[in-house]
Amino acid sequence: MPRRFSPFADLAAAAAAVGATRSKNAKRDLLAAYLRGLPAEELAAACAFFAGRPLVDPTAKLGMGWVQQAAALARASGADEEAIRAAYLRHSDFGDAAAELLAGAERRGGHLTVTEVAGTFDAIAAAGNGEDRIGLMADLFGRASPEDARFIGRVSSRETRIGLREGLLEEAVAEAFGRQLDAVRRAHMLTGEIGEAARLAREDRLAEAALHVMRPIRFMLATPVVDAAEVMRRVGDEAWIEDKYDGIRAQLHVDAGGIVRLFSRDLNDVTRSFPEITGAVAELPDLGPLVIDGELVPRREGTVLDFASLQTRLGRVRPSAELLAEVPVVLVAFDLLHHAGDDLIETPLRERRRRLEGLALPERSGERLLLAHLASARSADEVERHFDDARERRNEGLMIKDPDSAYQPGRRGLGWLKLKKALATLDCVVVGVEWGHGKRRDVLSDYTFAVRETDEHDARLLTIGKAYTGLTDAEIAEMTERFKGITLQDFGRYRTVVPEVVVEIAFDRIMRSARHRSGFAMRFPRIVRIRDDKTPADIDTMATVEALFGEQASGRILLATGSGGETERIAATGAAEDGERAG
């Protein structure tokens, strides 16, 4: 009879071995060997863990922030809050802190299996309240060896730190079961779950991989460009141009029975927050199962409202009738990923758009579902004109897409480019906060923020700037409480915090500077908004910073040029202010 449960210690040891070598090939071989020897039942959970996710279901959330994780570790180890912060700071890693603090603690119960750890994570995700979650996690730590705890802590705080990119995990799966890498990649892309791809690989059924309606796949991302000239340089003859709407990204799923689900960019189910959308979809004639990618945009009587108004809708599980009337939302569809049994992500955009238009959504939904405005341009001047028109329609800028491109889940490729209003903003994560001055002296109003070194999920955070917020007093007060809860080190004026709050930063230009660890600083940075729709995994990387810097240096920066177009006008105003303030 084949073994069904394997020791979690083996998994932790494999993870440690993978982390100990820098060689990609060695990492892949170690992982492949481990995965090959694993019982079938545990393959999906192990793959999720190596990918840095505690749960197999990519839409499920553990529901534990720093505060609860630390409380669980405190309970299991007997260490107090201060000792836990100190250990975290020593290692900058929750797993290492857990291993250190549990080293002396007495271990309860027998040895953990992969199934037990996975089962506990599932139970935590399903638990009704924070206290239960802390209790379950504390029990798990209580049964773990220090080495188990290191990996459990890393996975539960979502930082595996073993230098493992998903691409490498795909390679390991292909090697473990002797399959083609391309087939594994494709299965992962379609199913959205590396564990399922691994199971299909093991059973030699990769060809059966398909998109699951009602399970979100990761969103395709765009690469920023600085101006219309760069757009034309990148696309050649003709650019396919859509308006860039300023709302929140959403994936709409409709199954064969007409059940509707909406998922946000971080794959959360946000269906109940947008009843006007689900209501409109329910009224459509039967179009068959659908997966649509689009943007939720606040729009009343044909006019797009400010993004700020949409913020009042975020996080509201059951919006009131007044709020629904005040800030109604539409879904602007720009992509069709599945229709009536056909997976379309490998189909060229041109064809996906044709099929999307064929659904006649605006007409059939009373304009609750719209289509992204589409145009084409053959010169930089034309791009500029479209940009101005998009701004006239109160949209943020333009998206430039390759009509022959496939939909690439989770990738920031060159298939999609984005051109925004001023000089591109950067999404950063707050790593430190400081008490303000004057009437702000009782609130944490100055934020220090960082970008990621690379796109890898264990990349280091490198500081790039500091700014005080443009938030309202009420919001600053609320954020102050939040930052107090996630403070790591309190130096009096300044505190370091757990990096989890994402902010979008606008600035006048980027400069080389030794002041911050990124080696860059921003001139006149300002916080545009808190991006609760993004996680630290979504923030910008050094590559983007370098690219923006390079564009400035090459003289193609919006600020420096002077002629025509909304982009230049906005930037020129910024430059004037810059001069004034600098002078």
Catalytically active residues are: 244
| C-alpha–C-alpha distance, residues 179 and 201, integer Å | 7
Min dist CB 463 to ligand AMP, Å, is: 21
Residue 381 CB burial class (10 angstroms; 0-12, 13-18, ≥19): middle
* Interface with ligand AMP (CB under 6 A): 222, 242, 244-245, 249, 295, 334, 372, 399, 418
| C-alpha–C-alpha distance, residues 399 and 416, integer Å | 7
Nearer to ligand AMP by Cβ, of 297 and 461: the residue is 297
Residue 542 sits at φ, ψ, to 5 deg, of: -60, -30
The pair of three-digit structure tokens given for residue 226, joined into one six-digit string: 């600085």
Nearer to ligand AMP by Cβ, of 33 and 371: the residue is 371
Residue 320 sits at φ, ψ, to 5 deg, of: -70, 165
The pair of three-digit structure tokens given for residue 393, joined into one six-digit string: 């329609």
Nearer to ligand AMP by Cβ, of 95 and 247: the residue is 247
Percent of the chain as helix, strand, coil, to the nearest 5: 45, 20, 35
Nearer to ligand AMP by Cβ, of 104 and 470: the residue is 470
| C-alpha–C-alpha distance, residues 301 and 305, integer Å | 10
User: Which single residue brings its beta carbon nearest to ligand AMP?
Assistant: 249
Min dist CB 81 to ligand AMP, Å, is: 36
Nearer to ligand AMP by Cβ, of 94 and 334: the residue is 334
Answer yes or no: are the C-beta atoms of 338 and 291 closer than 8 Å.
yes
Q: Is 209 helix (H, G, I), strand (E, B) or coil?
A: coil
Nearer to ligand AMP by Cβ, of 143 and 249: the residue is 249
Choose among 92, 8, 52: nearest CA to 498. 92
Nearer to ligand AMP by Cβ, of 98 and 419: the residue is 419
Q: Where are the beta strands (DSSP E) in 475-525?
A: 487-490, 494-497, 502-506, 509-512, 520-523
The pair of three-digit structure tokens given for residue 42, joined into one six-digit string: 């545990």
Nearer to ligand AMP by Cβ, of 14 and 399: the residue is 399
Choose among 393, 397, 392: nearest CA to 416. 397
Answer yes or no: are the C-beta atoms of 340 and 295 closer than 8 Å.
no
| C-alpha–C-alpha distance, residues 416 and 278, integer Å | 28
- β-pair partners for 435: 444
Min dist CB 504 to ligand AMP, Å, is: 8
Min dist CB 443 to ligand AMP, Å, is: 28
Nearer to ligand AMP by Cβ, of 221 and 360: the residue is 221
Min dist CB 222 to ligand AMP, Å, is: 5
- Please list, residue by residue across 486-509, b when 16 or more beta carbons sit within 10 angstroms of its beta carbon and e when fewer do: bbbeeeeeebbbbbebbbbbbbbb
Min dist CB 372 to ligand AMP, Å, is: 4
Min dist CB 535 to ligand AMP, Å, is: 13
Q: What is the largest CA-CA distance in the chain?
A: 80
Residues 6 or more apart whose Cβ sits within 8 Å of residue 518: 450, 451, 462, 463, 464, 542, 545
Min dist CB 542 to ligand AMP, Å, is: 16
Within 13 Å and on the Cβ side, how many CA atoms surround 80? 1
| C-alpha–C-alpha distance, residues 61 and 395, integer Å | 32
Sign, CA dihedral 460-464-468-470, equals negative
Answer yes or no: are the C-beta atoms of 128 and 182 closer than 8 Å.
no
Min dist CB 396 to ligand AMP, Å, is: 7
